[in-house]
Amino acid sequence: MRRGFKPRRSLQLFWTDQPIGPFFMFFVDKNIFLPYYRKMDKIEPRLLKGFTDFLPERMIIRQKMIQTIKEVYELFGFLPLETPALEHADILIGKYGDEGEKLLYKFLDNGGRAVALRYDLTVPLARVVAQYPELKKPFKRYQVAPVWRAENTQKGRFREFYQCDADIIGTSSLMADAEILSLIWRTLKTLKVDNFTILLNNRKVLDGLLKDLGLPEENNLAVLRIIDKIEKISAEDFKKELLAIIGDDKKMQLVLDFMNSQGDLDLVQKLFPSAKEGADELKEVCRHVESLGVDRKNYKIDFSIVRGLDYYTGTVYETRLNDLPKFGSVFSGGRFDNLISKFIEQSIPAVGASIGLDRLFAALEELGIMKKIKSTAKVLIVNLEDDLKSEYQKIASCLRDEKINAIVYFDKISLGQQLSYASEMEIPYVLIYGSKEKEKGKIILKDMLEKTQAEVNLAEIIARIK
């Protein structure tokens, strides 16, 4: 039952429904139809739009990046978790707002169940916490995995991308909020990113502002939307749009003062007394962040940070690369104290953040921090003589025992061709071993970078390369 699919690509004639087969080819000039005929048999190896391959020269470095991120997360005691890509659609629906929900990959499986590909790693985490109450709290977990969103590909967005999440479940201590910020900082530092700013805000500050403005409830979201885009629109437009919703000059001025306050937490409480709880929380988080030794220049309070997702309740973070602001936030998150209670009666507080790995990777590529690496192999063993094949394999095996990545060239082609393979793949050392060398009990070690070579034995080779 696969209604709605087009039939397979096949050539059809206008007077018949039947695809042309080889039988028909007999009657017409073969050369006219040959190209079409070939096309019918061959399948174009094309990807879906919004999806991408990572070939080794990019994947090697991307993998190192993932490894570094995991190591930093583990430094803080976060533990790995893995959840499936497919979930019951019900689990994911109603968590991401209307806009988000449109991007879900939803379908019916053979049994007629509504299933969906995960949209982020946070909602599956909430499901896990609800499903396994035996998990010891505070539960600090990380997960590195792809998520899927049917984004508009015209904006250059990917539909499958990796997220690297770290969350702390089961504590409302603001030490946890501070630790997440410190984790963001340390992760980026370890990835050799320097010029970034972590922008910190608290949803309760914004809630306080909305409460004191006292607008009809349905306008609140619109106010937050305008605050959210302050950097994208001109000061004039900002004012204009704000006034249209608030409709009161005095109140609007309060909001403008708030936006211009440069994160001044005392001023905020004067402007909007209800924002006190949020402001106090921000103060405490900042105190902890200082103990954690996070560099002052890498974080600041920014009241325009709203975070689009519905589930945030307290602290929120975004991280901007100052050299590449157009990439948007590369590391974001916040506190979501009510999400887990969508599944169970108990309310379990939680805070965390997530790296948009592919966005960060693209940014680092553009900044030149990520250099392409062609190969992880250190040594190529040239294949010169059939009789020596097994000796080549033995040499490789010895090198691997010493944790030196080694390749034997399989096909006996000319030495020149094999050397050019090594240089194209940027393999730094080549071993040349023929019957002449065998007689002498030596191997020629060629250093491809320094362009030198020497006759040495295996022990010397291992010592040199190490």
For other proteins, the binding residues in 373-392 under the rule CB under 8 A are: 375-377, 383, 389-391
Exposed / middle / buried, residue 43 (Cβ in 10 Å: 0-12, 13-18, 19+): exposed
Of positions 155, 232, 403, 451, contacts other proteins by CB under 8 A: 403
CB of 22 to other proteins, least distance (A): 16
> At a CB cut-off of 8 Å and minimum separation 6, what does 395 contact?
381, 406, 431, 433, 443, 458
The position carrying tokens 């592919």 is: 358
* Contact status, residue 12 vs residue 20, Cβ threshold 8 Å: yes
Of positions 25, 60, 259, 369, contacts other proteins by CB under 8 A: 60
User: In this structure, what are the phi and psi dihedrals at residue 355, rounded to the nearest 5 degrees?
Assistant: -90, 130
User: Is the CB of 38 or the CB of 451 nearer to other proteins?
Assistant: 38
Told to check if 179 binds other proteins by CB under 8 A, we report yes
CB of 250 to other proteins, least distance (A): 36
Q: At what angle do helices 217-228 and 203-213 cross, to 10 degrees?
A: 130
CB of 249 to other proteins, least distance (A): 39
List the strands of the sheet with 106-108, edge to edge. 86-88, 114-117, 106-108
User: Is the CB of 171 or the CB of 319 nearer to other proteins?
Assistant: 171
CA dihedral (28, 33, 37, 38) in degrees, to 10, reads 130
**Residues in 422-441 at the binding interface with other proteins, rule: CB under 8 A:** 424-425
Told to check if 462 binds other proteins by CB under 8 A, we report no
Of positions 23, 29, 48, 234, contacts other proteins by CB under 8 A: 48
Told to check if 35 binds other proteins by CB under 8 A, we report no
List the strands of the sheet with 331-335, edge to edge. 79-80, 139-148, 160-169, 350-356, 331-335, 315-321, 196-202, 299-301
CB of 358 to other proteins, least distance (A): 11
DSSP assignment of 390-410: HHHHHHHHHHHHTT--EEE--
User: Is the CB of 121 or the CB of 242 nearer to other proteins?
Assistant: 121
**Residues in 133-172 at the binding interface with other proteins, rule: CB under 8 A:** 135-138, 140-141, 146, 148, 150, 159-160, 168, 170-172
DSSP assignment of 182-203: HHHHHHHHHTT--SEEEEEEEH
CB of 92 to other proteins, least distance (A): 10
Told to check if 364 binds other proteins by CB under 8 A, we report no
User: Is the CB of 141 or the CB of 446 nearer to other proteins?
Assistant: 141
Q: What's the distance, CA 12 to chain centroid?
A: 44
The residues with which 299 forms a beta bridge, in sequence order, are: 198
| Stretch of residues binding other proteins (CB under 8 A), selected from 192-200, 269-277, 306-314, 406-414 | 406-414
One symbol per residue from 293 to 322: x for binding other proteins (CB under 8 A), - otherwise; what is it?
x-----------------------------
Told to check if 103 binds other proteins by CB under 8 A, we report no
The C-alpha atoms of residue 366 and residue 348 are separated, in whole angstroms, by 40
Told to check if 287 binds other proteins by CB under 8 A, we report yes
CB of 20 to other proteins, least distance (A): 18
CB of 90 to other proteins, least distance (A): 6
Amino acid at 277: E
Residue 298 half-sphere exposure toward CB, CA atoms < 13 A = 19
Per the rule left: phi > 0, alpha: psi between -120 and 50, beta: everything else, 426 is left
The C-alpha atoms of residue 334 and residue 201 are separated, in whole angstroms, by 9
CB of 378 to other proteins, least distance (A): 9
Q: Which helix (H) or strand (E) holds 145?
A: strand 139-148
CB of 289 to other proteins, least distance (A): 9
Told to check if 283 binds other proteins by CB under 8 A, we report no
| Stretch of residues binding other proteins (CB under 8 A), selected from 51-59, 218-226, 312-320, 438-446 | 51-59
Task: Please work out the total of residues on this chain that contact other proteins, with binding judged by CB under 8 A.
Answer: 109
CB of 156 to other proteins, least distance (A): 16
The C-alpha atoms of residue 312 and residue 354 are separated, in whole angstroms, by 13
User: Is the CB of 115 or the CB of 443 nearer to other proteins?
Assistant: 115
User: Is the CB of 24 or the CB of 37 nearer to other proteins?
Assistant: 37
One symbol per residue from 104 to 133: x for binding other proteins (CB under 8 A), - otherwise; what is it?
-x-xxxx--x-x----------xxx-xxx-
Check residue 310 and report its DSSP letter: T
Of positions 86, 324, 367, 369, contacts other proteins by CB under 8 A: 86
| Stretch of residues binding other proteins (CB under 8 A), selected from 194-202, 261-269, 273-281, 419-427 | 419-427
The C-alpha atoms of residue 196 and residue 94 are separated, in whole angstroms, by 33
User: Is the CB of 290 or the CB of 323 nearer to other proteins?
Assistant: 290
Of positions 85, 222, 230, 415, contacts other proteins by CB under 8 A: 85
